[in-house]
Structure 1
Amino acid sequence: METGKSVARTRIDSEHPLPPSTPPGKELRFHLLGPVHVRVDGAVRDIGSPQAQAFLAVLLLQPGRTATLAELVHGIWGDEPPDTAVAAVRTHAWKWRRFLETSGVGRDALLSRGDGYRLTLTGPLTDVEEVEGLSASAAEARTRGHLEEADTLLKVALGRWYGEPLNRVPGDFAARQRARLTELSTVLSEERCDIRLALGRASFAVPDLMVLAAAHPLRQRAHRLLMQALHDTGRQHEALAVFDRIRRGLAEEHGIDPEPELVRMHQRILAGEGLAEAPSRGTTAEAAPWPPRAQPGWPVPHQLPHPVENFVGNEQAFSSVVEALLPPRRTGPAIVAVTGVPGSGKSSLAVRAAHQVQPAFPGGVLHADLTDEGERTAPSAVLRGFLVSLGLPRAALPEGLSDLSALFRSMTDGCRLLIVLDDAHDAAQVRPLLPGSPRCAVLVTGTRLFPGLPATRRVRLGPVSVEESLEILASVMGQERVCEERAAASELARMCEGLPLAVHAVGDWLAIRPELSLETLVRRIHDEPGHLLSHCETVRTCFEKNVRQLDPELARAWTRLSWSPGCLTAASASRALGVPHAHAEVLLERLADASMLERRAHRGYVFSAMLRQFAHLEHPLPVTAPLPPLVA
């Protein structure tokens, strides 16, 4: 039910207005098989915000049907709509009516029916309707035995895709339609390849079928057609290898056997039956690569960020990482894990090491940040980005994580590829991103220790020395200034606790304040311990990101323990948190594994001064409510 309050609070599309008025009598064409846009008399026009596109998609993809208010709200926002959802839907309807009217169609093209809306426009308005019509015509042509006509119709239909359907359109409805339209593209591709085989053009079908099989490692029809195409072009050994791959995949992933048609195709190949297009006498069939590599002209990925120019410290760790990435022989990929407390320079060291070894990886370098604003990045999203970077079209990518991971392993098999995974949460996030080829190498960074990760080498970063900290300060704010106030600079370096990120941040802050003496800053920090962090935004951001990686119980425990002075033991933590001794011991271990506490041999655990100050700045009062029991 609408209220005046919800209307008053609504701010819709102020930053994404709909197109300006257009002359009447223009032809409208809505394109949904990629980034959504509309053509007015052939000219492309913007159609507003993602929510406006979601509203339109619900109506366009249900032609002739009334979409209720509830369907529109759920289609745009899912199960958690904002308070202003109803008013927003009404505003979208008003804007689209204005757009249709100024386009010469008339406002009555969008009618109110009950509490919902219905489009009354007739004819194919969208590329989706055109594709559905072409596919139906192709099916009829094939039924009549007109294979050439069916092949042409399917070629035109598949050419209508120009990216991921409904790209970046939010909501449950768009997600369902995106999956449906992606599946439709796959089915039509399989159907066209089947027709080309029937036309005796197996050699032309092989490349498309390789892409389909690589994109869908467990899709049995695509693999059956690929086996037939390879068989019909005289490449029986490759066809048999395709069967072996999908048979193993089905058994490992789902514990099932291949379908009967796939088994029969395997038996036909073993029997040497039915070669439809064998190579001509005196020629040799050239084996196409499996799985498909980058499209012709596709650039080799080199995704590393720019390295830190004034990298100082941890030289032994740096050498160890470089050495581990380049062993002479190995049976599996090199997996190097670099860990350390927040701000210890893990990412900088990893990027510098990756640049150092990059020439040894002609297949390229992939880079991904596995934490976004403190939130865990889904492995499936990372894999999609990697596969597109390696040359696969986004519309051909499978949906499930296991399929994406299997396809990534296939695409990287035999490649000399380096993969840098920065700021990982845990081994479960990393494992789907690991290649299988021993020619690849993986460099993982994070604050956690990654138990369960099959690392070939683990490198723990410690603090840089005072002298190294002074080098960093000199590189940022000038050697002369550091030399003039060396005692104050040394004290400032000790206050930064050997964290390169903190030293850089302080140096940057001082570099733009040449009139401020280092001694004055040191005195202010002594008088007010939080003064240092208040001027180090990058350090606060880093700390906050790591706190957000903790689960709620662990984050509360960390905050409350920051108010306990001195060295922490299971006994003192039990008293501070109001939990049993064993529970407190588990919490301390988990915080240490996350690098939010430091272990002291035989003496318990301690907070770093900067992390303690950060906790006090963000949570000035301790929380006294008891923690819930730890869930195993």
Structure 2
Amino acid sequence: MLGLLASRAGDVVHIEEIIDAVWGSAVPRTAVNGVHTYVAGLRRAIEPGRGSRESGGLLISSGGGYSLRLPQEQIDAHVFAQLHANASRLRAEGEVRGALDALERALPLWHGEAFANIPGPFAAMERTRLQELRLAATEEWADGLLSLGRHAEVVVLLADLVAKEPLREKLRWLLMMALYRSGRRADALTLYRRTQDLLRDELGIEPGPELRALHEQMLGGHLDTTGTALNAPVPPTDAGELPADRWTPVRPAQLPPLTRGFLGRGTERARLSRLVADDGARRRTTMALITGAPGVGKSALALHVASDLADDFPDGQLFLDLCGTSPERAPLSAREALAQLLRSLAVDESAIPDDLPGRTALYRSLLYGKRVLFVLDDAYDAEQLRPLIPQGPACVLITSRWRHSGLVARDGAYRVELAPLSPEESVDLLAYLAPSRCVREEPETVERITRLCGHLPLALRVVAEALTTRPGTTLSQLAQALDEGAMEWLDVVRDAAASLRSAFSRSYRALPADVAQMFRLLGLYDGLVITDDVAATLAACSRTRARRLLDSLAEAHLLMELGEGCFRFHELIGVYAAERAERDEPAPSVDAALARSLQSYGKGRRPLRPMVQSSSKAHHLAGHDMR
């Protein structure tokens, strides 16, 4: 926990983030109390003179979380990252000696493995990330030493490291070059043969093109004693580099147009901008998950934030629809997504590897150190996403209907949960999109309309379009139509992307069979608050199983979690659940659920609806078909 707080020194880390980081998916019931206990122990350790009732100055409580108020200059990982960034900048400017000086101050900050023997998903993720930074800095240092003719030092530096990281080809390239320049040609060739045998035995592959090219030049005597060749090789990345005739760098600009009348979300926009700025200062990738219910405006927020930040990412902006809930096609696999992204980066089709590891390595090599912004829309799962995250000062904005707790815990993603608009924002949106109607002159009717729309931006936009194109329909008639059949009325003919029923249906169809059945049975329930006890009665299962199914629906944002084991439907999702129960749940199952509920009614539980009201009627108002 100290490592987590120190990695975000000065920021407030919310209790939910701490729990995700420390326990991941194996959260004990006592997790919140455990966090408080850890905080108390940390305070005793880092502020031993602090009284039990004193607020303290280092570890403070704030905004539902905790913040370590420590200057970043006192955190060695931050100092290392800053020195590494300075070295990269100096090297790009041709200041090799200045870059070496920065690296020689950075690398001695290490004392063993970061987060050694510390359990938990955050520690595992940071251990891997920091080790990768350390290896990258070491490789840059070795390359700088070679450029200054300090070959023997590189041999000493890399000999042990190659043994510890046997599959890292760049280290072996550097050591081969250092051996050759030190007059040890035979040792360099022996190292290549051992590398070839290792890669064949461990991975079933051959060395990369850079290692092979270096080996051939050494065999043919095409390198002089300084390592200079007619076609001088350059140190490879882990994946190797494309020949110049197979890839021409481009600056993609793929962001779709912004939504007209985007209102609210000021808090979320400010938070995302702040997170990107903080990570950018540390030259690390920002991965932000924007999650929420169907129709709540996730994609619109992501695109507006991307537009806000576009100038900070001069190497380009990419957009990719991952089809997580597409009605027309299955979600993109990581392999398919990488192929699309590589094409967007102007990689020739013939140069795109066929396998997922090859595509991932090429993709990350091309983007290493680049300031590129991504919007990955409608993500399905972590397996689809992880290969798409580059290393370095990039920003990845992900929208999804699922919470993806594993990406938060294991990969350090930030999560921004979107709620429906406030009542005031809903009225503002209607007034903006339908300026010709006197929205503000009938506040009670408009409040009823926005409530029946559940304050969802998509539903409000459909209503605003109807107000604009059907001038003969009064606000009162519109409110009555919504009250009698909101789901039918909010369908948009011949445009599934703008239809609320279609939006809900895509989430529903993605549910496992047992979770989908629980969704339908809950649609029969007439109460406002759903507990695991209620769900267990409806589904005739144990409370433990019922809670797992409820958690799965909350993960998909088809239920809203109220805390303390209580849930409720969003208004329109509840209507849709009742509709699915009527259409999909067999009559015997409905009858059995009704009987169990009535049997429990005497114990204080609210019964099921005696009859599910159909929302599949056509509504005609003022001579118009209001569907």
- TM bracket (short chain): 0.5 to 0.7
Which residue of structure 2 aligns with residue 373 of structure 1?
Answer: 326
Q: Return the match for 2:372 from 417, 429, 436.
A: 417
Query: Kindly tell me: are residues 360 and 530 of structure 1, through their superposed partners in 2, closer, same or farther at Cα, counting changes over 3 Å?
Result: closer
**Alignment CA distance shift 1:247-1:491 (3 Å):** farther
Structure 2: distance between partners of 1:260 and 1:411:
19
Q: In structure 2, do the counterparts of structure 1 residues 515 and 295 end up closer, same or farther at CA, with 3 Å as the change threshold? A: farther
Change (3 A) 1:404 1:266: closer
Select which of 441, 450, 456 maps to 2:395: 441
- Quote how far apart the aligned CAs of 1:418 are: 1.1
Equivalent residue in structure 1 for 2:569, among 578, 582, 607: 607
Deviations 1:487-533 (A, max 9, x none): 32222112212211111111112211112111111123334454543
Q: 1:326 aligns with which of 267, 277, 301?
A: 277
Q: Given the superposition, is the C-alpha separation of residues 264 and 288 from structure 1 closer, same or farther in structure 2, using an over 3 Å criterion?
A: closer
Q: Which residue of 1 aligns with 2:509?
A: 548
| Deviation digits for residues 306-337 of structure 1 (CA, Å, limit 9, x no counterpart) | 11121011110111112222324236311111
Alpha-carbon distance change, 262 to 602 in structure 1, aligned in 2, over 3 angstroms: closer
Counterpart CA distance in 2 for 1:323 and 1:249 is 48
Structure 2 partner of 1:623: 586
Q: CA deviation at 1:560?
A: 2.0
1:497 aligned onto 2:448? no
Partner of 1:460: 417
Alignment equivalent of 2:309, drawn from 344, 357, 362: 357
Separation in 1, partners of 2:589, 2:357? 40
- TM-score for both structures, normalised by structure 2: 0.56
> How far does residue 225 in structure 1 lie from its aligned partner after superposition?
12
Unaligned runs of 5+ in 2: 1-166, 591-627
Quick one: which of 378, 385, 388 aligns to 2:343? 388
1:386 Cα shift? Answer: 0.4
1:470 matched to 2:421? The reply is: no
The residue identity in structure 2 corresponding to 1:419 is F
Question: Alignment partner of 1:313: what SS?
Answer: coil
Q: How many positions carry a matched residue from both structures?
A: 399
1:485 aligns with 2:451: no
- The equivalent residue for 1:523 is 480
Structure 2 counterparts to residues 120-135 of structure 1, below 5 A = none
Which residue of 2 is the match for residue 407 of structure 1? 362
Q: Deviations over 1:292-314 (max 9, x none)?
A: 47967664211111111210111
For 1:102-121, list aligned pairs within 5 A: none
Determine if contact 1:232/1:274 at 8 Å carries over to the other structure. no
> Counterpart of 1:541 in structure 2: which amino acid?
S
Residue 343 of structure 1 is aligned with which of 295, 305, 308? 295
Identity value in percent: 27
SS class of match (2:526)? coil
Question: Which residue number corresponds to residue 552 of structure 2?
Answer: 590
Hey, what's the Cα distance between the residues in 1 that align with 2:461 and 2:245?
A: 40
SS across alignment from 1:468: helix
1:352 Cα deviation from its structure 2 partner: 0.7
Report the CA distance between 1:227 and its aligned residue. 12
Confirm or deny: 8 A CA contact 2:446 2:475 kept in the other structure: yes
Structure 1, unpaired ranges of 5+: 1-217, 628-632
Q: C-alpha displacement at 1:385, in angstroms?
A: 0.5
Cα distance in 2, alignment partners of residues 465 and 597 from structure 1: 18
- Summarize the Cα distance change of 1:269–1:260 in structure 2 as closer, same or farther, 3 Å threshold: same
Structure 2 equivalent of residue 570 of structure 1: 532
Counterpart position of 1:559: 520
Check conservation: 1:361, 1:418, Cα contact below 8 A. yes
Q: CA deviation at 1:562?
A: 1.2
Deviations 1:567-617 (A, max 9, x none): 222121112112222111110111111111011122611111201212333
Matched-pair contact (CA < 8 Å) for 1:224–1:265:
no
- Inter-partner Cα distance in structure 1 for 2:360 and 2:549: 33
Residue 620 of structure 1 and its aligned partner are, at CA, apart by 2.1
CA separation of 1:553 and 1:612: change in aligned 2, threshold 3 A: same
Match runs of 1:524-539 below 5 Å:
524-534=481-491, 538-539=499-500
CA distance in 2 between partners of 1:407 and 1:261 (Å): 12
For 2:281, what is the secondary structure of its paired residue? coil
Query: What per-residue deviation string (whole Å, max 9, x for no partner) do you get for residues 229-276 of structure 1?
Result: 99999xx9xxx9xx99x969987x984597699999699699x66432
SS at match of 1:423: strand
Shift of 1:457: 2.0
Question: Which residue of 1 is the match for residue 4 of structure 2?
Answer: none
Distance (whole Å) between structure 2 residues aligned to residue 314 and residue 457 of structure 1: 17
**Paired residues of 2:426 and 2:455 also in contact (CA < 8 A):** yes
Counterpart residue type for residue 312 of structure 2: A
Q: CA deviation at 1:424?
A: 0.9
1:534-582 deviations in whole A, cap 9, x for unaligned?
4685212211111122222222221222112212221211121122221
Q: Counterparts of 1:263 and 1:300 in 2: how far apart (Å)?
A: 26
Letter in 2 for 1:320: R
CA distance in 1, matches of 2:228, 2:573: 75
Indicate the residue corresponding to 2:86 in structure 1.
none
TM-score normalised to the size of structure 1?
A: 0.55
Q: Match of 2:222?
A: 276
Q: Would the alpha carbon gap of residues 563 and 249 (structure 1) be closer, same or farther in structure 2, given more than 3 Å must change?
A: farther
**Equivalent residue runs for 1:247-266 within 5 Å:** 255-256=202-203
Aligned to 1:121: none
1:431 to 386, 399, 405: 386
1:452 is paired with a residue whose SS is helix
Contact 1:420–1:444 (CA<8 Å) still a contact in 2? yes
Change in CA separation of 1:516 and 1:263 when aligned onto 2, cut-off 3 Å: closer
- Which amino acid letter does the alignment assign opposite residue 426 of structure 2? S
Contact between 2:319 and 2:375, CA under 8 Å: does it hold in 1? yes
